[in-house]
Amino acid sequence: MKSLFAAAVCGLCLTGTASASQVLVNGGFETGSFSGWTTVSSNGSGGGWFVDSASVSPLNGFPTVGAFSGSDYAVTDGFGPGTNVLYQSFTDPLGATSAILSFDAFVDDDFGGSGFGGEVDLLAGNANPLTGTPIAVFYQADTSGTSNPYAGYSGDISSLMTPGDTYILRAYESDSSGPINFGVDNFSLNVSTSTPTATPEPNLLLLAALAGAFAYRTGRRMVQIQNT
């Protein structure tokens, strides 16, 4: 009897419906363009970000490792010092329980440490993409030479964000004396969410019948105790 009553009452409980979604657009640059992304460069940088399918940099022809997968990747190149930013804004979905960020990146500094290098980081949605202070840095390097291999990153960044808020994922390259080829590929932000879902309402007549039966059995037990 108690188990039947508990089962009926559990109809009032809430359950969760889990789902996962890809938040970023064109993470592998396979459209051959920066669709979904925005680029910005400092004045006088003499270069910027490019979608490339070759194993040489688009302006200077320096050797690179090429795309990590597929045909295309994004890479910086220039004829002088400067800062170049590639970024995409996104909103952390409501009900997010995890947010797995992954990407691959390399830095070729043929001039041997001529500047800051390359960085992938997270900014608040209202930050200046060129000058903003990161909430977190996921990758940073200034590697001498050319054709350096990719380094991969994968991690849950949900603790850095508040569901419903907007953020900027940024690839940032800066050099002070010569061009740096900063390459990125395979950006992904897979967010899992849980949405509370109410189960069907319990049968009120069944609840009333169970409650009455429970009270009747309890009353009989009390009478039996008093008569002993």
pLDDT at res. 120: 99
pLDDT at res. 2: 45
Burial zone of 128 (CB within 10 Å; 0-12 exposed, 13-18 middle, 19+ buried): exposed
pLDDT at res. 183: 98
Between vectors from CA 88 to CA 64 and to CA 32, what angle results, nearest 5°?
Answer: 50
pLDDT at res. 132: 98
- Sheet of 82-91: strand order equals 38-41, 82-91, 166-175, 117-124, 136-141
Task: Domain ranges for the chain, please list them.
Answer: 14-198
Cα dihedral 21, 27, 33, 34 sign: positive
pLDDT at res. 81: 85
pLDDT at res. 114: 57
Q: Which residue stretches of the chain have pLDDT < 70?
A: 1-17, 113-115, 196-228
Q: How far is CA 37 from CA 5, 50, 185, 210, in A?
A: 56, 12, 13, 61
Instruction: Assign a CATH topology to domain 14-198.
Output: Jelly Rolls (2.60.120)
